[in-house]
């Protein structure tokens, strides 16, 4: 059976599974639509949270970025897992005890103000929409390869499928579908990694393979990779940091607190039966996430090594990487390269006209590498590989069987769809429940509330798809921006709402607005106002990364600091919250008396 048919079969099978489950578990009431009636086991909830969490950014994009960045890519690994510790300890159990559906509801009640709730809705929508733009970029990559079309067409197809998918079920449908999606995506991620780890190191577990020696040699995989990439003028794999130590520090911190402030993740913890379950549910979620996250660095390093040895035969054989016959001839390049060239995400250009592919860093500061390239008659790097294709192309690069390639395509789509659906749920709940019902039309019927939610989803898909055509960065980078926004706006307000009895509405509102404003200002300066191309205003802030060399993706931690500081200052000069609010905070801190979320409020 040929490759394309195999891919169709794998993707088709996985989709029929999800659709079958969605029909089986169709939601009835509003309460079921948003939170599955509060009756999902912690382990299942953890798996669903894992699928919800591991998006196109984690599945498709992250390992590719790590392959590019080397050690510095660890910021994604630590940042996107460490946040669960904060979530489990600082937020989840207390929000569960509080017993409401959504983050804006919590903020509105705790800070006794509809204004605070409105600001929370704005923060939530900004973060979630930015997140979906990143998803759409990833969906575009997956569909373009899967259908053999350009990535633009891939995005249009993806928009249609995400829409059908998200409006079809509710949270309950999604919870069980997501368990299935988790299983598909984790198999799709780990199976090729196991194959490749066996090929390269003879070690079954990629987590151990990454730390092993290459088969038939006594050189470790990482040492080999280090020597190949430095020889070709790239930074040393195991030590190249992300900009600077300070940038790496705040970037990691932004992703961590952003994780704990992302509404679609927090919403998950409303769906467990008890406070006790909320604590362990975060742990289970992280177990299932860690399986992918500890595999990702192995995928990254092994794919990078495989890619180099594909285009340069001296990598595997040893010898001079710059010898003329070491670079492969363009005519005999493997089929997978030709397949990806169709998507426009992999490009080959014979700059020195020798009919061979030279892949190296032509902007290297390593003088030895530059001298060798010049001596060999190389006239610039001839191969551009978009970081977002590494994971999907990985089994093809390693020449694995067709069914593995098909499985990876199905997994990538599962990851993108499940997260997009979870985010759209959060957006739909925020618009229909927190915005329309609580702010403007309190007596809206349940039917109209659901309808408003579905319209909100459709609008969100169109906006994000349109912006996804000109994404502000790679899928994982765009998603990191969303985390920065959540980190700077929602996390501090929720945390102060639980851990400070005296924090008042004025402080919380001023803090959220200040944190959001300063972060968006810095991000928009780099990426354009609302990510519209050509509206960036870098000169105004004195050039790129002008704030101590911190990149816009990493700025959320600074925004969060501003949020805390402003909230504290304003709190000091305004009246303290009423007694019943302080009593409510006391009761939120104690598990006893928790009850299931109900839809009546």
Partner 1 sequence: MKHDYDSSAYWKETIKLLRNVLILWFLVSFGAGILFVDFFNQFHLGGYPLGFWFAHQGAIYFFVAQIFYYAWRMNNLDIKFDVHED
The residues of the shown chain that bind partner 1, judged by CB under 8 A, are 66, 71, 73-75, 77-78, 81-82, 84-85, 88-90, 93, 207-208, 210-213, 220-223, 238-239, 241, 245, 248-249, 252-253, 274-276, 279-280, 282-283, 286-287, 290, 293-294, 297, 586, 589-594
CB 187 within 8 A of CB 407: yes
Minimum distance from residue 89 beta carbon to partner 1 (Å): 5
Of 59, 47, 124, 474, nearest in space to 299 by CA:
59
Minimum distance from residue 498 beta carbon to partner 1 (Å): 11
Of 11, 336, 15, 342, nearest in space to 152 by CA:
342
Burial of 331: CB neighbours in 10 Å, binned 0-12, 13-18, 19+: exposed
Ramachandran area for residue 13 (φ above 0: left; ψ -120 to 50: alpha; else beta): alpha
- Our CB check for partner 1 shows the closer of 341 and 586 to be 586
Minimum distance from residue 509 beta carbon to partner 1 (Å): 26
- Our CB check for partner 1 shows the closer of 207 and 313 to be 207
CB 305 within 8 A of CB 221: yes
Minimum distance from residue 487 beta carbon to partner 1 (Å): 15
User: What are 384's strand-pairing partners?
Assistant: 347
Minimum distance from residue 275 beta carbon to partner 1 (Å): 6
364: helix, coil or strand? coil
- Residue entry with tokens 């402003």: 566
Minimum distance from residue 489 beta carbon to partner 1 (Å): 22
What letter would DSSP give residue 439?
Answer: I
CB 18 within 8 A of CB 173: no
Of 362, 383, 194, nearest in space to 307 by CA:
383
CB 257 within 8 A of CB 91: no
- Our CB check for partner 1 shows the closer of 82 and 511 to be 82
Minimum distance from residue 208 beta carbon to partner 1 (Å): 7
Of 115, 161, 104, nearest in space to 432 by CA:
104
User: What are 327's strand-pairing partners?
Assistant: 312
Tokens of 357: 């592919």
Minimum distance from residue 220 beta carbon to partner 1 (Å): 3
For the chain, the maximum distance between any two Cα atoms, rounded to a whole number of angstroms, is 80
What letter would DSSP give residue 348?
Answer: E
As a whole number of angstroms, the distance between CA 224 and CA 305 comes to: 8
As a whole number of angstroms, the distance between CA 29 and CA 447 comes to: 9
Tokens of 271: 């769906």
CB 107 within 8 A of CB 516: no
- Residue entry with tokens 């009895």: 501
Minimum distance from residue 44 beta carbon to partner 1 (Å): 17
Minimum distance from residue 29 beta carbon to partner 1 (Å): 25
Minimum distance from residue 146 beta carbon to partner 1 (Å): 30
Minimum distance from residue 216 beta carbon to partner 1 (Å): 15
Minimum distance from residue 282 beta carbon to partner 1 (Å): 6
Beta strand 346-348 pairing with 383-385? antiparallel
As a whole number of angstroms, the distance between CA 236 and CA 384 comes to: 19
What letter would DSSP give residue 243?
Answer: S
- Our CB check for partner 1 shows the closer of 580 and 592 to be 592
Q: At what angle do helices 390-397 and 275-311 cross, to 10 degrees?
A: 50
CA dihedral (333, 336, 341, 344) in degrees, to 10, reads: -150
Tokens of 86: 């904060």
As a whole number of angstroms, the distance between CA 34 and CA 173 comes to: 10
Minimum distance from residue 211 beta carbon to partner 1 (Å): 4
Contact residues for 293 (Cβ-Cβ < 8 A; gap 6+): 58, 77, 80, 81
């Amino acid at each position: 059976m040929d490759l394309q048919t195999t891919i169709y079969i794998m993707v088709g099978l996985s989709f029929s599974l999800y659709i079958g489950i969605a029909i089986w578990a169709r939601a009835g009431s509003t309460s079921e639509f948003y939170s599955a009636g509060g009756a999902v086991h912690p382990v299942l909830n953890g798996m669903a949270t894992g699928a919800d969490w591991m998006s196109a950014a984690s599945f498709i994009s992250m390992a590719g970025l790590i392959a590019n960045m080397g050690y510095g890519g660890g910021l994604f690994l630590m940042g996107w897992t460490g946040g669960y510790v904060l979530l489990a300890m600082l937020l989840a159990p207390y929000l569960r005890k509080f017993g409401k559906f959504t983050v804006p509801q919590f903020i509105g009640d705790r800070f006794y103000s509809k204004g605070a709730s409105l600001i929370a809705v704005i923060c939530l929508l900004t973060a979630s929409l930015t997140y979906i733009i990143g998803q759409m970029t990833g969906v575009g990559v997956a569909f373009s390869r899967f259908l053999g079309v350009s990535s633009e067409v891939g995005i249009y197809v993806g928009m249609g499928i995400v829409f059908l998918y998200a409006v079809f079920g509710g949270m309950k449908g999604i919870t069980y579908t997501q368990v299935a999606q988790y299983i598909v995506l984790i198999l799709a991620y780990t199976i090729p990694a196991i194959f490749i780890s066996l090929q390269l190191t003879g070690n079954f577990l990629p987590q151990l393979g990454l730390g092993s020696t290459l088969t038939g040699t006594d050189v470790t995989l990482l040492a080999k990779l280090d020597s190949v990439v430095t020889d070709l003028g790239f930074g040393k794999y195991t030590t190249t940091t992300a900009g600077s130590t300070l940038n790496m520090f705040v970037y990691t911190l932004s992703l961590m607190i952003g994780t704990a402030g992302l509404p679609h993740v927090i919403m998950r913890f409303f769906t467990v039966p008890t406070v006790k379950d909320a604590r362990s549910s975060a742990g289970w979620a992280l177990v299932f996430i860690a399986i992918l996250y500890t595999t990702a660095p192995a995928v990254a390093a092994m794919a990078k090594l495989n890619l180099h040895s594909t285009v340069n035969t001296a990598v595997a054989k040893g010898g001079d990487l710059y010898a003329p016959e070491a670079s492969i001839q363009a005519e005999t390049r493997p089929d997978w390269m030709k397949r990806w060239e169709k998507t426009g995400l992999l490009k080959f250009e014979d700059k020195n006209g020798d009919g061979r592919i030279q892949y190296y860093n032509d902007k290297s500061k390593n003088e030895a590498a530059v001298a060798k390239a010049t001596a060999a008659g190389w006239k610039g790097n001839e191969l551009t590989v978009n970081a977002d294709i590494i994971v999907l192309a990985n089994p093809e690069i390693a020449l694995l069987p067709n069914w593995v390639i098909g499985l990876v395509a199905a997994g990538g789509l599962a990851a993108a769809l499940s997260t997009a659906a979870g985010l759209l749920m959060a957006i739909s709940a925020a618009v229909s429940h927190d915005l329309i019902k609580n702010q403007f039309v309190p007596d809206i019927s349940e039917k109209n509330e659901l309808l408003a939610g579905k319209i909100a989803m459709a609008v969100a898909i169109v906006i994000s798809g349109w912006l996804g055509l000109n994404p502000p960065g790679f899928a994982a980078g765009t998603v990191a921006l969303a985390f920065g926004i959540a980190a700077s706006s929602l996390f501090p307000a929720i945390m102060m709402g639980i851990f400070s009895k005296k924090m008042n509405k004025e402080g919380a509102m001023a803090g959220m607005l200040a944190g959001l404003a300063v972060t968006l200002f810095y991000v928009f300066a780099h990426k354009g106002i609302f990510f519209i191309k050509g509206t960036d205003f870098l000169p105004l802030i004195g050039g790129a990364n002008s704030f101590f060399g911190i990149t816009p993706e990493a700025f959320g931690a600074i925004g969060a600091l501003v949020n805390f500081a402003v909230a504290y200052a304003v709190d000091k000069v305004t009246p303290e919250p009423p007694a019943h609010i302080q009593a409510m905070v006391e009761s939120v801190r104690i598990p006893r008396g928790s009850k299931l979320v109900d839809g009546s409020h």
